[in-house]
Structure 1
Amino acid sequence: MASISMSTVSAPTFINTDSLRSLISHRSLIDHFHCSLPKASSSLCNPIRQSHDVSPTSSLLLMPSWSTSPSLPYIGVKLVTFFPDNSALNLPGVHASYVLFSSTNGQPLASMDGTELTLIRTSCVSGLASRILARSDSQVLVMIGAGAMAPHLIRSHLVARPSLKKVVIWNRTVEKARKLAEKMKESVGLDGVCFESSGCLDEVIEMGDIVSCATNSEVPLVKGQKLKPGAHLDLVGSFKHSMRECDDEAIKRGRVFVDNEAALVEAGELVGAFERGVIEKKDIGGDLVELITGEKIGRSSSEEITVFKSVGSAVVDILAAQLAYETYMQQHK
Structure 2
Amino acid sequence: MRLIDTDQTRNALSFDTVIPALRDAFREDATVPARHVHAIQSGNAHGTSLIMPAWSERGYFGVKIINIFPENTHQGLPGLHATYNLYSATTGVPVAQVDGDIVTVYRTAGAAALGADYLARADAHTLLIVGSGRIAGLVAQAMRTVRPIQRVLVRSEEHT
TM over 0.5: yes
Q: Distance in 2 between matches of 1:148 and 1:155?
A: 13
Q: Distance in 2 between matches of 1:171 and 1:90?
A: 24
Shift of 1:22: 1.9
Q: TM-score, normalised by structure 2?
A: 0.85
Equivalent position to 2:139, from 153, 156, 159: 153
Residue of structure 1 equivalent to 2:154: 169
Q: Decide whether aligned partners of structure 1 residues 117 and 165 sit closer, same or farther in structure 2, where only a CA change above 3 A counts.
A: same
Residue of structure 2 equivalent to 1:52: 38
Structure with the higher fraction of residues in helix conformation: 1
Shift of 1:151: 1.6
Unaligned runs of 5+ in 1: 1-11, 175-198, 200-333
Residue of structure 1 equivalent to 2:11: 22
Q: Distance in 2 between matches of 1:106 and 1:92?
A: 31
Shift of 1:144: 2.0
Q: Distance in 1 between matches of 2:71 and 2:130?
A: 19
Q: TM-score, normalised by structure 1?
A: 0.43
Residue of structure 2 equivalent to 1:143: 129
Whether the 8 Å contact between 1:13 and 1:110 is mirrored in structure 2 is: yes
| Greater RCO, CA 8 A, separation 6+ | 2
What value does the CA root-mean-square deviation take over the aligned residues?
A: 2.2
Whether the 8 Å contact between 1:75 and 1:103 is mirrored in structure 2 is: yes
Q: Secondary structure at the match of 2:64?
A: strand
Residue of structure 1 equivalent to 2:83: 97
- The number of residues matched between the two structures is 156
Residue type matched to 2:115 in 1? A
- What is the identity percentage for the equivalent residue pairs of Structure 1 and Structure 2? 32
For residues 82-121 of structure 1, what are the structure 2 equivalents within 5 Å?
82-84=68-70, 91-121=77-107
Whether the 8 Å contact between 1:92 and 1:148 is mirrored in structure 2 is: no
Unaligned runs of 5+ in 2: none
Q: Distance in 1 between matches of 2:25 and 2:54?
A: 15
Cα deviation, 1:21-58, whole Å, max 9, x if unaligned, reads: 2212012110112234212xx1x222211112347x84
Q: Distance in 2 between matches of 1:109 and 1:27?
A: 24
Q: Decide whether aligned partners of structure 1 residues 95 and 132 sit closer, same or farther in structure 2, where only a CA change above 3 A counts.
A: same
* 1:65 pairs with 2:54: yes
Q: Distance in 1 between matches of 2:138 and 2:76?
A: 19
Larger Rg: 1
Q: Distance in 2 between matches of 1:88 and 1:161?
A: 40
Equivalent position to 2:64, from 78, 85, 96: 78
Q: Distance in 2 between matches of 1:73 and 1:133?
A: 32
Shift of 1:95: 1.8
For residues 1-333 of structure 1, what are the structure 2 equivalents within 5 Å?
12-39=1-28, 42=29, 44-54=30-40, 58-67=47-56, 69=57, 72-84=58-70, 91-162=77-148, 164-174=149-159, 199=160
Structure with the higher fraction of residues in strand conformation: 2
Q: Secondary structure at the match of 2:154?
A: strand
Cα deviation, 1:206-251, whole Å, max 9, x if unaligned, reads: xxxxxxxxxxxxxxxxxxxxxxxxxxxxxxxxxxxxxxxxxxxxxx
Residue of structure 2 equivalent to 1:310: none
